Amino acid sequence: MRTQFVLSAAGLAAIGVIVAFAAASAGVNKPDPGAGKVESVMCATCHGSDGVSAATNVPNLAGQHYEYLMEQLIAFKKGTRKNGVMNEMVRPLSLAQLRNVAAYYSTVQISMGTAKESKQR
Ligand code: HEC
């Protein structure tokens, strides 16, 4: 009887640890588009407030695939993709922040048309 109690208490503690771990790792793994929208304010000057860029020499980010955005952001951070502005923009940001902004831009709804009118070269 007593042993059984000790065992179940240990069992409960173990479950507690597993639940806490799952919750913590869910927090790390799940990007938050809402937080990303707030963080994207620093990107808006060039990429537009909704990821549709005002300047024709800056790429649109709205509706872009999350995986692609993350690949580019990590490449800018590592310096394997070189662009002075973007390398500097991304350098101070954490992986969690990058995931959040990538999640935000990937969830912006776009309708396919042509990109903003620009000089055809
Ligand atoms: C001062 C202007 C400027 C700011 C601010 C800026 N970017 Fe950029 N971004 C650019 C330019 C220019 C490029 C194109 C770089 C190149 O030619 O490789 C670019 C490229 C990118 C790309 C690659 C897009 C693609 O299609 O490959 C991503 C992703 C990106 N920026 C995300 C961000 C995020 C996220 C922020 C905010 C944290 C940000 N940028 C802030 C100018 C800017």
Distance 58 CA to ligand 1 centre (A): 7
- CATH number of domain containing 41: 1.10.760.10
In terms of residue numbers, what domain contains 10? 1-30
Is residue 108 lining ligand 1, measured as CB closer than 6 Å? no
Is the distance from CB of 44 to CB of 53 less than 8 angstroms? no
Is residue 42 lining ligand 1, measured as CB closer than 6 Å? yes
Domain co-membership, 99 together with 41: yes
Is the distance from CB of 108 to CB of 41 less than 8 angstroms? no
Domain co-membership, 37 together with 26: no
- The answer on pLDDT for 80 being more than 60 is yes
In this structure, which residue's CA is closest to atom 3 in ligand 1?
46
Return the best residue to mutate from 38, 41, 43 for the ligand 1 pocket (most ligand atoms within 8 A of CB): 43
Task: Answer positive or negative: Cα dihedral of 12, 14, 18, 20.
Answer: positive
- The answer on pLDDT for 106 being more than 90 is yes
Domain co-membership, 84 together with 61: yes
Q: Which of 59-63, 76-80, 111-115 has the lowest mean pLDDT?
A: 111-115
> Which atom of ligand 1 lies at the shortest distance from residue 101's CA?
35
> What is the average pLDDT score of the chain?
83
Is residue 73 lining ligand 1, measured as CB closer than 6 Å? yes
Is residue 46 lining ligand 1, measured as CB closer than 6 Å? yes
Sequence-separated (6 or more) residues with CB below 8 Å from residue 43: 61, 89, 101
Query: Which tens digit of pLDDT belongs to each residue from 19-71?
Result: 444 444 445 569 999 999 999 999 999 999 999 998 899 999 999 999 999 99
Higher pLDDT among residues 82 and 20, named by residue: 82
pTM score: 0.80
Which pLDDT belongs to residue 72? 98
Domain co-membership, 63 together with 26: no
* C-alpha span between 39 and 63 (Å, rounded): 17
Say how many C-beta atoms besides its own lie within 10 A of residue 51's C-beta.
Answer: 24
Which pLDDT belongs to residue 114? 73
* C-alpha span between 90 and 98 (Å, rounded): 8
